[in-house]
Amino acid sequence: MRVLVIGATGATGRQLVQQALEQGHQVTAFVRDPAKLNMAHANLRIARGDVLDYASVESAMRGQSAVLSALGHKRFFYPNRIQSDGMRNILQAMNTCDVPRLVCETALGIGNSVGRLGLPHTFLILPLLLAFYMWDKLRQEQLIIASDRDWVIVRPGVLTNGEARGSYRHGPKVGSYLWPVKIARADVADFMLKQLTDDAYVGAAPGLGY
């Protein structure tokens, strides 16, 4: 499958690129700075661009079968719309280029999963430190839900850089109202790649955690 990975230089994005290549996909990694990816493979094409620049998004989108988005940023402490404005461009380019499938990573604690990231995150970390970031993720989800693409929103718990376990929980009831669930980025990538061909969660937003 021809797959476009958005946010390919991020921690989850790198896992998506690596695992997609291992599974035999033809991967286009969409990055602002190609030097940060530091990866080479016969089935890997690097597309330089900015998710806020529609022309570069559409150029990378042409000929793709699906999009994997691990779009994020580290500008946590002031209002911005990087994720939502970027997703608007992604969805527009998908429509223009007739790309049907979108699998997008967001987070537990968004939308109807509010509260499922545990008490400390729900009442301290999210509202005090990550409020702007999470509001932008919510706007991103709203755009996806309103689209006519075959979308899957993946909501992982607290992300770690641990080894993949290959076994994890997924579905609408994942998460705890008391303590946060965790999940390795390697397992998030594994689950997201499975959604390329599995229709079970199309039009849904499953949580993900151990």
Rounded to 5 degrees, φ, ψ at 5 are: -105, 115
Q: What is the pLDDT of residues 22-64, one digit of tens each?
A: 999 999 999 999 999 999 999 999 999 999 999 999 999 999 9
* CA 105, 74, 187, 35 torsion-angle sign: positive
pTM of the full predicted structure? 0.91
> What length is written for the chain?
210
Spatial contact of 64 and 101, defined as CB atoms under 8 Å apart: no
| Residue 147: DSSP 8-state | S
Q: How far apart are CA 62 and CA 93, in angstroms?
A: 8
Q: What is the pLDDT of residues 69-128, one digit of tens each?
A: 999 876 656 667 899 999 999 999 999 999 999 999 999 888 887 767 765 566 556 555
pLDDT at 179: 77
Domain ranges of the chain: 2-209
Report whether CATH 3.40.50.11540 matches the domain 2-209. Answer: no
